[in-house]
Amino acid sequence: MTNHDSRHIETLAVHAGRTPDPATGAVMPPIHLATNYERDATGACPRGFEYTREGNPNRQALETSLARLEGGAAAACFASGNAAAAAIFQALTPAQHVVIAQDTYYGTAVLLKDIFAAWALEATFVDATDPEAIAAAMRPQTALVWVETPSNPLLSIVDIARAAAIAHAHGARLVVENTLGTPVLQQPFEFGADLVVHSTTKFLGGHSDVLGGVVVTNVVDEFFQRLRRIQVIGGAVPSPFDCWLLQRSLKTLPCRVRAQSETAIKVARFLATHKRVERVLYPGLPEHPGYLTAKRQMSGFGGVLSFTLKEGAAAAKALPSRTRIFTHATSIGGVESLIEHRASAEGPDTRAPQNLVRLSIGLEHPDDLIADLAQALGEVPQPEPKPVFPGGRLLRTPGMPQSG
């Protein structure tokens, strides 16, 4: 079942979940900062709101917008992407089993390995680009199959339709992490997904100024009702102002994402020909192993790419400090372009290669971004020669320890 709205996504981004304020006629909705709401003489709350943890006009409007953009039945917003993921795992019961892509967001993997393992929620990490690997990992107690496509930071592509078929054949739900795809480029419900997750911090927010997450469901069933209860009772909800900021940002989402995608493919093509670059990870390049799958289930390839350097880890770590337009910072999806040595950000348990650099493409002109990378990727700096006397004896510089 897909909750299809025939209007184009540009129209939905501007209008879904929005009506003029009934009290004032304001086109832009007000920010409802109240934590509680007036009851009537019977003690009921006739306007539909009682306490802001349970519901808020700004959050209700945002959830409506996000559900419509994804073609889902309902959405539950959270204070972060990790909180959204955690709520899904909390909605399971101990001893249930999750099959999850090994190439998934680092924070999601940590949740399963460090937090939920303590209460006997089992997880099997597989190469989700191989449907047979997903099928082989299924058990009678498997409740969820979790995939991320495109993945962060390796940009691997999972065939959503095949993953959904495997999950459903075993009575499990398919969750698709669609942060890099965004509803503009990819609609997982059209390929059989049951739940879609986003870090709304990234492309949906798009301005690097608001933290959030969302779970969108294709059917309002018992599982989603349990997830909604975790949202309300657990209280990891976004503030009214955060919801207002996200609503504002959604209006430009299609324009931003498409512009970022168009620039990203140009940057990827430039890097693919550079003599210092070993490999470019971007599903828009025909040589990418997931290119045909991405082309089938996406309308564009997104604004994130990674590449590896031939010279290894030291060169990859040094590169971000050499850029002038790209900002050396963590995150993706904002209007400003970012660069990061991903392994350093994730720590010792990272799956990112040590020579990998991740780029998040913003809204700058592609020629400027390419020029910035070109100057940053200039000739490999050669180590300074050690000064010697004419006879070949080492010249000791100040601070150099005496040789032995």
Q: How many CB atoms lie within 10 A of CB 157?
A: 26
Do 275 and 238 share a structural domain? no
pLDDT, residue 66, reads 97
Which pLDDT score, from 0 to 100, does residue 382 have?
A: 46
- Count CB neighbours of 45 within 10 A: 16
198 vs 212: CA distance, rounded Å: 9
Residue 116 sits in a domain whose CATH number is 3.40.640.10
Residue 322, C-beta contacts closer than 8 angstroms, at least 6 positions apart:
375, 376, 378
Q: Please indicate, yes or no, if residue 101 is contained in any of the structural domains.
A: yes
Contact 132, 165 (CB under 8 A): no
Residue ending a domain, among 232, 250, 268, is: 250
In a domain, residue 400? The reply is: no
Check: CB of residue 240 under 8 Å from CB of residue 117.
no
Residues 128 and 214 in one domain: yes
Closest C-alpha to 119, from 137, 93, 139: 93
* 184 & 301 share domain: no
Question: What does the pLDDT read at residue 369?
Answer: 97
Note the helical H segments in 71-211.
Answer: 81-90, 106-110, 131-137, 160-169, 182-185
- Judgement on whether residues 212 and 279 belong to the same structural domain of the protein: no
Q: Which of 221, 250, 279 is the last residue of a domain?
A: 250
258 and 240 assigned to the same domain: no
Contact 92, 98 (CB under 8 A): yes
Question: Within a domain: residue 403?
Answer: no
Q: Are residues 241 and 302 in the same domain?
A: no
2: in domain: no
Question: What gap in Å lies between CA 165 and CA 133, rounded to an integer?
Answer: 14
Do residues 101 and 231 both lie within one domain? yes
Within the chain, which residues score under 50 in pLDDT? 1, 380-384, 389-404
Residue 327 and residue 228 in one domain: no
Residues 98 and 240 in one domain: yes
Query: What's the pLDDT at 264?
Result: 98
> Considering the domain boundaries, does residue 111 fall inside one?
yes
Please tell me the total number of residues recorded for the chain in this structure: 404
Q: 146 with 161, same domain?
A: yes
Of 250, 284, 315, the position where a domain reaches its end is 250
Is the separation of the CB atoms in 208 and 199 below 8 Å? no
395 assigned to some structural domain:
no
Strand partners, 339: 328, 359
Count the Cβ atoms, other than its own, within 10 Å of residue 381: 9
Same-domain pairing of 132 and 232: yes
pTM for the predicted model, two decimal places = 0.90
Dihedrals phi, psi of 232, to nearest 5 degrees: -75, -45
- Domain that residue 325 falls in: 253-376
Q: Are 55 and 22 contained in the same domain?
A: yes
Query: How many separate domains does the chain show?
Result: 2
pLDDT, position 385: 53
Does some domain include residue 399?
Answer: no
- Distances in Å between the Cα of 194 and the Cα atoms of 150, 223, 230 are 18, 11, 18
- Looking at residue 335, which CATH number applies to its domain? 3.90.1150.10
- 334 within domain boundaries: yes
